[in-house]
């Protein structure tokens, strides 16, 4: 049994802890913040490949109970023209579809399940430094405390401290010229079928909404912005409404019915992080391969990482070799997902001339779709939990 220190208590860190506990290791989560993630963050859609990876850990039904089915997507242009009505990631053999869930509900549900299984979570433990020792790794935290273990896993996100400890020359994240925002509209009744994601390539920004089974409307917008500076919140609502008003969608009505609009945040990704590991440290999730939300795979990639790393630590006889096996199984796939997300995102950040060209090619592409969906490789991926890692 190995004692595993996990930096980061988000989705990647918590699922990793549960997976390691499942195979008999002793994980300890070290979360930088001194509070939980209750009420923090927007919502996300977890694709079927992520849900399938959760199944052997007994977590798939937990996530399904927290969210709602999102089986289809309708795509339109800002002029109201419908481009496509597609399956959103297909279905698993048992009929499970992609699930949309509040990020904070997902955090809380996974955290509570980890604690129920006896996994220790330590709050207020922001990693300051770490070094390998003769028998493992020693981590020190900003509060002056320290912890020893056999392995340190960096599940500490886009600004990962573990990544820079492993490689001080690690690249900075790449800004994708989009801001993200969204909200939950109340008291609004749309005729849309619940669970169908409506996505619009608008004249000025990309807008998506889905009706919750209870009638509320969940929405997000990707706003082109050349630089990562954030706008003033005092004018943010009216700025959005002005940009959305040029499109034939219910977007303006939805934004007006939203009590609290999410504070915008910038979009970043990592085309490639050269070094993921040392003998006793490894990074996973956004720390290793943050992807644009345009891929719809951020949470699913974190789950796949967690399950794959656990399989490697279960089946490969030494920790250094297990981490090498993990990277061999994951790197090509995640970099392909990041690249696909960048391509999808590029279609959202265009100027007036680029929009005309984009709309022409989108219309033509959906009129004569390719035999194979170029995004299918993302959600068709399956991890065989029981299969041994060679």
Give 51-101 pLDDT, tens digit per residue: 999 999 999 999 999 999 999 999 999 999 999 898 888 899 999 999 999
Q: Do 113 and 141 lie in a common domain?
A: yes
Which one has a higher pLDDT value, 1 or 199? 199
Distances (CA, A) of 59 to 13, 23, 66, 86, 244: 14, 15, 11, 27, 38
What distance in Å separates the CA atoms of residue 311 and residue 22, rounded to the nearest whole number?
A: 10
Q: Do 166 and 309 lie in a common domain?
A: yes
The parent domain of residue 104 ranges over 3-173+268-379
Q: Do 272 and 345 lie in a common domain?
A: yes
Q: Do 77 and 127 lie in a common domain?
A: yes
Residue 388 lies in a domain: no
Region 37-41: mean pLDDT is 52
Q: Do 201 and 283 lie in a common domain?
A: no
What's the number of domains the chain is made of? 2
Q: Do 39 and 159 lie in a common domain?
A: yes
Percent of the chain exceeding pLDDT 70 equals 98
> What pLDDT, on the 0 to 100 scale, is given for residue 357?
85
372 band by pLDDT with thresholds 50, 70 and 90: confident
Q: Which of 239, 267, 295 is where one domain is finished?
A: 267
Which one has a higher pLDDT value, 305 or 340? 305
Q: Do 164 and 244 lie in a common domain?
A: no
Residue 386 lies in a domain: no
> What pLDDT, on the 0 to 100 scale, is given for residue 85?
92
Region 148-157: mean pLDDT is 97
Residue 69 lies in a domain: yes
CATH of the domain at 96: 3.50.50.60
Strands (E), 233-340: 265-269, 281-283
> What pLDDT, on the 0 to 100 scale, is given for residue 294?
64
CA-based nearest residue to 322, from 151, 69, 109, 96 = 151
Per-residue pLDDT reduced to its tens digit, 104-114: 999 999 999 99
Residue 88 lies in a domain: yes
CB of 115 within 8 A of CB of 121?
yes
> What pLDDT, on the 0 to 100 scale, is given for residue 41?
62
Region 44-52: mean pLDDT is 95
Q: Do 238 and 287 lie in a common domain?
A: no
Model confidence at 39: pLDDT above 50: no
Q: Do 101 and 183 lie in a common domain?
A: no
Percent of the chain exceeding pLDDT 90 equals 79
Residue 385 lies in a domain: no
Distances (CA, A) of 37 to 31, 43, 63, 244, 356: 10, 13, 16, 31, 41
Distance of CA 317 to the CA centre of its chain: 31
Which one has a higher pLDDT value, 22 or 90? 22
CATH of the domain at 262: 3.30.9.30
> What pLDDT, on the 0 to 100 scale, is given for residue 6?
98
What distance in Å separates the CA atoms of residue 56 and residue 34, rounded to the nearest whole number?
A: 31
* Residue whose tokens read 């003033």: 232
Residue 300 lies in a domain: yes
> What pLDDT, on the 0 to 100 scale, is given for residue 368?
79
Instruction: Enumerate residues 6+ apart whose C-beta is below 8 A from 162.
Output: 7, 127, 130, 152, 153, 154, 156, 281, 283, 287
> What pLDDT, on the 0 to 100 scale, is given for residue 251?
97
> What pLDDT, on the 0 to 100 scale, is given for residue 223?
93
User: Judging by beta carbons within 10 Å of its beta carbon (0-12, 13-18, 19+), is residue 185 exposed, middle or buried?
Assistant: buried
Q: Which of 210, 244, 267 is where one domain is finished?
A: 267
Q: Which of 267, 300, 318 is where one domain is finished?
A: 267
Model confidence at 38: pLDDT above 70: no
Per-residue pLDDT reduced to its tens digit, 311-335: 999 999 999 999 999 999 999 999 9
Q: Do 146 and 282 lie in a common domain?
A: yes
CB of 63 within 8 A of CB of 15?
no
351 band by pLDDT with thresholds 50, 70 and 90: confident
36 band by pLDDT with thresholds 50, 70 and 90: low
pTM: 0.93
**Average pLDDT score over the chain:** 92
Residue 366 lies in a domain: yes
Region 145-165: mean pLDDT is 97
> What pLDDT, on the 0 to 100 scale, is given for residue 35?
66
> What pLDDT, on the 0 to 100 scale, is given for residue 345?
74
Q: Do 363 and 230 lie in a common domain?
A: no
Q: Do 152 and 132 lie in a common domain?
A: yes
Lowest-confidence segment of 1-5, 53-57, 351-355 by average pLDDT: 351-355
């Amino acid at each position: 049994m190995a004692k595993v220190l996990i930096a980061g208590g988000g989705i990647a860190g918590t699922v990793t802890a549960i997976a390691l506990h499942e195979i008999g290791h002793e994980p300890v989560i070290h979360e930088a913040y001194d509070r939980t993630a209750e009420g923090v963050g927007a919502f996300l859609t977890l694709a079927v490949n992520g849900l399938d990876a959760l199944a052997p850990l007994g977590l798939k039904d937990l996530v399904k109970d927290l969210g709602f089915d999102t089986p289809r997507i309708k795509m339109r242009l800002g002029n109201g023209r419908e481009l496509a009505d597609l399956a959103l990631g297909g279905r698993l053999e048992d009929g499970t579809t992609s699930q949309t869930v509040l990020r904070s509900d997902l955090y809380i549900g996974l955290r509570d399940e980890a604690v129920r299984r006896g996994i220790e979570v330590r709050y207020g433990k922001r990693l300051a430094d770490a070094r390998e020792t003769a028998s493992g790794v020693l981590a020190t935290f900003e509060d002056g405390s320290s912890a020893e273990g056999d392995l340190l896993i960096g599940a500490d996100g886009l600004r990962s401290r573990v990544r820079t400890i492993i490689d001080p020359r690690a690249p900075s994240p790449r800004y994708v010229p989009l801001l993200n925002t969204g909200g939950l509209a109340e008291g609004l009744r749309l005729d849309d079928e619940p669970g169908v994601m409506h996505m619009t390539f608008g004249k000025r920004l990309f807008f998506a909404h889905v009706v919750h089974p209870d009638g509320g409307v969940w929405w997000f917008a990707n706003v082109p912005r050349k630089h990562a500076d954030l706008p003033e919140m005092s004018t943010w609502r009216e700025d959005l409404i002005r940009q959305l008003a040029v499109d034939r969608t219910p977007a303006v009505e939805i934004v007006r019915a939203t009590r609290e609009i999410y504070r915008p945040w910038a979009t970043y990704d990592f085309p490639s992080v050269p070094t993921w590991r040392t003998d006793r440290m490894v990074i996973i999730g956004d720390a290793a391969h943050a992807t644009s939300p345009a891929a719809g795979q951020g949470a699913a990639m974190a789950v796949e990482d967690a399950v794959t790393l656990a399989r490697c630590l279960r089946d490969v006889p030494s920790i250094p070799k297990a981490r090498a096996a993990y990277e061999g199984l994951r790197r090509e796939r995640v970099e392909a997902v990041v690249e696909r997300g960048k391509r999808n995102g590029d279609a959202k950040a265009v100027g007036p001339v680029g929009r005309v060209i984009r709309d022409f090619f989108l219309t033509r592409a959906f009129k004569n779709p390719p035999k194979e969906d170029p995004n299918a490789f993302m959600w068709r991926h399956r991890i065989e939990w029981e299969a041994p890692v060679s």
